[in-house]
Copies of this chain bind each other. A is one copy, B any other.
Amino acid sequence: MKINVTNLQDRREKISDTVVLVDVLRSGTTIVMALKNGCKYIIPFKSIEMAKRAGRKLGPKAILVGEDYGLTPPGFDLNNSPSLVVKEKVKGKIICFRSSNLTRMLEKVRRLRRVKNILIGGLINAGALARYLKDISPQEVHIVICGNISRAFNLEDFIGAGCIVHRIKKAELTDTALAAMLAYKSPGSIDRIWQGSTARHAVKIGFERDIPLCIKESYVDIVPIYKDGRIISARER
């Protein structure tokens, strides 16, 4: 397996058939926790309006989860917060989901002709993602760091990507994959996430409490996959 880490900024880059979208703060973590807590599936939407329209159509079996610049859009039930998608709120529900970066990156990736497998996560399910990748054993994989609203590169997703690379172990690594793995393996790397731009923004808008859960490495064994417009939990094979 050849592993690349990318932020999809280079249009000439040929993306392989297997992609992992890494969004540590906070979408990737929220999706993992929602599936863990029994939500039926998640429908990602590009815009707030599209999510609302779908929510109205689905009625009481749906809830609206998401953010815009980190804040809960008017009319949404829950913020894009892994600590809010608890069993009492999400069990058996369909989540209409919208976030600034993950849904934008997902949209970008699903339009690429060669892409067949789209996995989603963060540090919280890095171990499960690595095991899943070793199981399906694609020739090549692109791990995508989703970035944040103001930057195409962000620290926590780079470290999250590096954690997945490290846990896959035997693979051919590109320069970006080597760099991400080194950053992850650097002493105290995970605590440094607090100094990154996304974490500082999360603290500023009052979501500091989410960060400890988001940076808990390999805490949940769920692999979200995107299939036919829905994000569901892949059974580990």
Contacts and interface: CB of A to CB of B under 8 A. Distances in A.
Oligomer copy total: 2
A138 interface: no
A175 B157 CA distance: 10
A154 interface: yes
Main secondary structure on A side of the interface with B: helix
Contacts of A173: 195
A108 interface: no
Interface string A189-207: 1001001110000000000
A152 interface: yes
A182 interface: yes
A135 interface: no
Contacts of A174: 197
Contacts of A187: 185, 187
A185 B182 CA distance: 8
A143 interface: no
A148 B11 CA distance: 17
Contact of A179 (B9, B152, B155): B155
Interface string A96-133: 00000000000000000000000000000000000000
17 contacts: A9-B10, A153-B175, A154-B175, A155-B179, A158-B175, A159-B179, A174-B197, A178-B196, A179-B179, A179-B183, A182-B182, A182-B186, A182-B189, A183-B186, A185-B186, A185-B187, A187-B187
